Chain A
Amino acid sequence: QIQLVQSGPELKKPGESVKISCKASGYTFTDYAMNWVKQAPGNGLKWMGWINTQTGKPTYADDFKQRFVFSLETSASTAYLQINNLNIEDTATYFCTREWRFDYWGQGVMVTVSS
């Protein structure tokens, strides 16, 4: 069955970086793009961007162009989200989700940024 399994929760200090993973299984990884979605505590969903899993080309939403990096390890069917220079507003749950339908979702990674 199709699964997206994400890495565990993270506790970071302001200014630090974090890299979270999303491992896909049950389908051919390079056949479907991967999106990243942010959900701040008690809030709704915000699309961060997507990565073309065939070419590795990332596309970022305007609010996520500065400190956010999408990458791949295709041999491991894994997508990554790195956030640099963390600030308090980055405290959120981050989801990976597949292609234009957002049909399958990872379980989410809670990133807490606190001094």
Chain B
Amino acid sequence: DVLMTQTPVSLPVSLGGQVSISCRSSQSLVHSDGNTYLHWYLQKPGQSPQLLIYRVSNRFSGVPDRFSGSGSGTDFTLKISRVEPEDLGVYYCLQSTHFPPTFGGGTKLELK
């Protein structure tokens, strides 16, 4: 299985600040169709995960432009600018290029 390693595990932030979360895969996530199936989710406390970014850099419907995704191959980053209270929770990356789909271990974004 593809191992997805997220860092950091915990990320203290001040409201209005900017943060980056890293997600590294144990093998390239470029699919044979040329796409890279790396996605980002936020799970707020007591809620189900919600899709933020799909295929590396595409914001899902309704996601503010404060969220941006980048990367290629095995190295990916989620950036959040101007952090707001509703951004707090656990962020997960997911690869669905290779079978089986695998999630990163999560990064908890919390207030300093």
Contacts and interface: CB of A to CB of B under 8 A. Distances in A.
- State the main secondary structure of chain B at its contact with A: loop
B64 interface: no
A61 interface: yes
A80 interface: no
A70 interface: no
A44 B55 CA distance: 21
Contact of B94 (A61, A95, A102): A102
Interface residues of B, number: 21
B15 interface: no
A46 B51 contact: no
Interface residues of A, number: 19
A46 B103 contact: yes
Interface in B17-52: 37, 39, 41, 47-51
A102 B92 CA distance: 12
B51 A101 contact: yes
